[in-house]
């Protein structure tokens, strides 16, 4: 059966889940071999080593097989351990890396081991003959081979690599001239090999090849966006990677000829407005700014940019880049003059504030922040809140308790999410004898705003205060299943029976308005949560009631069997 990777726990019994997680946590899952795109082969250490193969495409597990003897269910603990491996980042799992004290069974040879063995044994002539034949028979392999070794070509150029990208695109285009969303994944993989080659050329200081590859990739893939479904972001992501490598190249000590070539290229792209309206337009300018050395080059770049029509976002980015160029080429005094001429650019205001704090010029910093609030409060209220955060930082630098409380209170009520915990800042500065009444007023002010984020903020305050009675009362007022689940960990110790009852009512209401296997799996997941809370008998009662109420929902009956 097909299983969404991010929901795999719903398809596996708790016992097998527990055993599979234990295998993963104890380092029994070896890093897999990628047999082909989306096809994985794992070695899992058990009483002996077992091989698990998984087919995964677009987040869906299409097939899985393990050569262990388990036959008591559709999924064994070894397959489950491999699923945990694939989801370890999303689940925030940490795999044990220390070797076990027990001697591990002898590992089977992986695909990589077998390939390495054969490469050692095969002769040079055999390998050349194999590659030649393979390039004649397999167009994808031929494109990959030509792209990977094009830098050895004496006539290397941007066009040479463009031809390789064009060949990749043509191989993925259907008869209507369109690249569908599944084919874009192949484009991303194939172009990825080209970009890996570009990165390797940096390591070998073959910078010219890096420049050729990345410019070919970014230009041709940008054009391809017009006739491709890039829902997965494979094409756009490859363009991003190409620009990242070009920016990396611009920061290196490249020879003068290539430096000028790159500057000319950036100016040409700006003149043509090739990437105008996309973030890549700014990336081109950012790369050029890294390369400039003379006033003439600076003038060429910025005159061309500023005479074109730019959005507000582009103007702000360009001004920030120009400041960096002035700082590099003209020094701090001239750069600061430019900075204060464009101080309403929030990027430059941040720089000015940071400089003022570093110099302990608190009056200047306060004025910059207050001016920012006045300028941005109507059109950019989110940015205006940021300037309040700077005012808090300034007050903290000056140990001004009154102002610290004023700004932290405002930022807490506004639910401004930055680096500081405003609740803790307030608790550290409000007198303990006044804390309860102070906090009640804050809760009252937040509640007046009456948004779901405001309710969340109040719940977080109750959690920090460990006020479980009031948190429970909030949940009773909004007994949504997800809401109950979000706060279950804080309330289960004292209110397990209440939570079980709310889950029970919520599940029945949920299934009155939701039909389909995915919804049935969700309901059964909450039934399992009830069991974990000690509500086994209540689960039996609900299960019986659901079987009686919805006997014709066959998929619901199947899912209830797994509870």
Q: Under a CB-based contact definition with an 8 Å cutoff, are residues 66 and 78 in contact?
A: yes
Domains of the chain, by residue range, sit at: 3-106, 132-329, 490-560
pLDDT exceeds cutoff 80 at 57: yes
* DSSP letter, residue 37: T
pTM: 0.68
Give the pLDDT band (50/70/90) at residue 101.
Answer: very low
**HSE-up (13 A, CA, CB side) for residue 551:** 1
- For the stretch 355-363, contacts whose Cβ atoms lie closer than 8 Å and that sit 24 or more positions apart, written own/partner, are 357/393, 357/394, 357/397, 360/397, 362/394, 362/397, 362/398
Give the C-alpha separation, 505 to 542, whole Å: 9
Give the C-alpha separation, 7 to 520, whole Å: 13
| Mean pLDDT, rounded, for 74-79 | 87
Cβ count near 443 (within 10 Å): 17
Give percent of the chain above pLDDT 70.
93
Residue 72 or 83, more confident: 83
Those residues whose C-beta lies under 8 Å from the C-beta of residue 224, and which sit 6 or more positions away, are 169, 179, 187, 235
Reference 324, options 301, 356, 308, 357; nearest CA is: 301
Among 97-106, 389-398, 445-454, the range scoring the smallest mean pLDDT is 97-106
Give the pLDDT band (50/70/90) at residue 114.
Answer: confident
pLDDT in tens, 374-430: 999 999 998 999 999 999 999 999 999 999 999 999 999 988 877 789 999 999 999
Q: What pLDDT score does 10 carry?
A: 81
Residue 225 or 101, more confident: 225
125: left (phi over 0), alpha (psi -120 to 50) or beta: alpha
230: which 2 tokens?
């890039």
Give the C-alpha separation, 339 to 327, whole Å: 10
Residue 240 or 36, more confident: 240
Q: What pLDDT score does 402 carry?
A: 97
Give the C-alpha separation, 153 to 160, whole Å: 9
pLDDT in tens, 176-217: 889 988 888 888 888 988 899 899 999 999 999 999 999 999
Q: What pLDDT score does 310 carry?
A: 77
Q: What are phi and psi of 489, to 5 degrees?
A: -60, -30
Those residues whose C-beta lies under 8 Å from the C-beta of residue 353, and which sit 6 or more positions away, are 365, 368, 369, 390
pLDDT in tens, 234-266: 899 999 999 999 999 999 999 999 999 999 999
Reference 461, options 445, 488, 439; nearest CA is: 439
pLDDT in tens, 325-341: 999 889 999 999 999 99
Give the C-alpha separation, 274 to 216, whole Å: 13
User: Residue 66 pairs with which residues in a beta bridge?
Assistant: 52
Give the C-alpha separation, 150 to 200, whole Å: 13
| Mean pLDDT, rounded, for 152-160 | 76
Q: What is the mean pLDDT of the chain?
A: 88
Give the C-alpha separation, 352 to 350, whole Å: 5
147: which 2 tokens?
């792209």
Those residues whose C-beta lies under 8 Å from the C-beta of residue 227, and which sit 6 or more positions away, are 173, 177, 178, 179
Residue 181 or 442, more confident: 442
Burial 473-511 (b: 16+ CB within 10 A, else e): eebeeebebebbeebbebbbeebbebbbebbbebbeebb
Q: Under a CB-based contact definition with an 8 Å cutoff, are residues 234 and 185 in contact?
A: yes
Cβ count near 142 (within 10 Å): 17
347: which 2 tokens?
């990027």
Q: Under a CB-based contact definition with an 8 Å cutoff, are residues 291 and 263 in contact?
A: yes
Q: Under a CB-based contact definition with an 8 Å cutoff, are residues 51 and 67 in contact?
A: yes
Residue 423 or 96, more confident: 423
pLDDT exceeds cutoff 90 at 83: yes
Give percent of the chain above pLDDT 90.
51
| Mean pLDDT, rounded, for 24-42 | 85
User: Residue 413 pairs with which residues in a beta bridge?
Assistant: none
Q: Is the dihedral of CA 498, 499, 500, 501 positive or negative?
A: positive
pLDDT in tens, 502-519: 999 999 999 998 888 888
Most confident of 37-41, 270-274, 318-322: 318-322
438: which 2 tokens?
């102070």
Give the pLDDT band (50/70/90) at residue 99.
Answer: very low
Give the pLDDT band (50/70/90) at residue 172.
Answer: confident
pLDDT exceeds cutoff 50 at 525: yes
| Mean pLDDT, rounded, for 126-131 | 86
Q: What pLDDT score does 207 carry?
A: 94
Q: Under a CB-based contact definition with an 8 Å cutoff, are residues 51 and 42 in contact?
A: yes
DSSP, collapsed to helix, strand or coil, labels residue 102 as coil
């Amino acid at each position: 059966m097909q299983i969404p990777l991010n929901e795999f726990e719903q398809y596996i019994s708790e016992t097998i889940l527990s055993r599979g997680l234990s295998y993963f946590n104890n380092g029994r899952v070896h890093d897999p071999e990628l047999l082909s795109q989306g096809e994985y082969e794992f070695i899992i250490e058990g009483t002996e080593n077992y091989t698990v193969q998984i087919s995964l495409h677009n987040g869906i597990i299409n097939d899985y097989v393990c050569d262990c003897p388990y036959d008591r269910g559709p999924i064994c603990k070894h397959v489950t351990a491999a699923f945990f491996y694939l989801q370890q980042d999303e689940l925030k799992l940490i795999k044990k890396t220390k070797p076990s004290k027990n001697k591990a069974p002898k590992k089977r040879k992986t695909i990589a081991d077998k390939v390495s063995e054969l490469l050692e044994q095969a002769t040079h002539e055999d390998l050349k003959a194999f590659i030649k034949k393979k390039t004649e028979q397999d167009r994808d392999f031929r494109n990959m081979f030509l792209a990977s070794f094009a830098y050895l070509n004496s006539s290397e150029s941007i066009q040479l690599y463009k031809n390789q990208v064009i060949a990749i695109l043509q191989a993925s285009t259907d008869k209507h001239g369109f690249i569908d969303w599944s084919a874009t994944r192949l484009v991303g993989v194939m172009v990825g090999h080209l970009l890996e080659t570009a990165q390797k050329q940096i390591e070998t200081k073959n910078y010219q090849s890096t420049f050729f590859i990345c410019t070919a990739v970014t230009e041709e893939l940008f054009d391809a966006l017009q006739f491709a479904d890039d829902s997965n972001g494979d094409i756009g992501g490859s363009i991003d990677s190409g620009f990242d490598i070009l920016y990396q190249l611009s920061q290196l000590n490249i020879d003068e000829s290539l430096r000028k070539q790159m500057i000319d290229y950036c100016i040409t792209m700006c003149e043509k407005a090739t990437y105008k309206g996309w973030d890549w337009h700014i990336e081109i300018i950012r790369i050029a700014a890294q390369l400039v050395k003379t006033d003439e080059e600076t003038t060429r770049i910025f005159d061309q940019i500023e005479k074109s029509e730019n959005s507000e976002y582009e103007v702000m980015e360009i001004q920030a880049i120009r400041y960096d160029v002035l700082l590099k080429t003209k020094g701090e005094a001239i750069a600061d003059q430019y900075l204060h001429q464009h101080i309403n650019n929030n990027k430059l205001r941040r720089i000015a504030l940071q400089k003022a704090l570093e110099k302990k010029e608190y009056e200047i910093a306060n004025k910059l922040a207050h001016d920012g609030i006045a300028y941005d409060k109507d059109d950019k209220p989110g940015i205006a809140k940021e300037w309040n955060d700077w005012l808090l930082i300034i007050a903290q630098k000056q140990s001004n308790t009154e102002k610290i409380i004023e700004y932290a209170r405002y930022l807490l009520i506004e639910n401004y999410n930055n680096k500081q915990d405003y609740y803790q800042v307030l608790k550290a500065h409000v007198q303990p004898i006044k804390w309860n009444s102070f906090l009640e007023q804050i809760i009252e002010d937040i509640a007046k705003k009456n948004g779901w984020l405001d309710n969340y903020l109040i719940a977080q305050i109750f959690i920090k205060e460990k006020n479980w009675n009031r948190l429970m009362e909030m949940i009773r007022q909004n007994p949504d299943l997800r809401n109950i689940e979000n706060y279950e960990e804080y309330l289960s110790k004292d209110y397990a029976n209440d939570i079980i009852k709310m889950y029970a009512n919520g599940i029945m209401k949920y299934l009155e308005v939701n039909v389909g296997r995915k919804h049935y799996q969700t309901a059964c997941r909450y039934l399992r949560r009830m069991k974990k809370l000690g509500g086994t008998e209540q689960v039996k009662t609900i299960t019986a009631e659901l079987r009686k109420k919805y006997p014709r929902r066959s998929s619901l009956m199947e899912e209830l069997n797994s509870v």
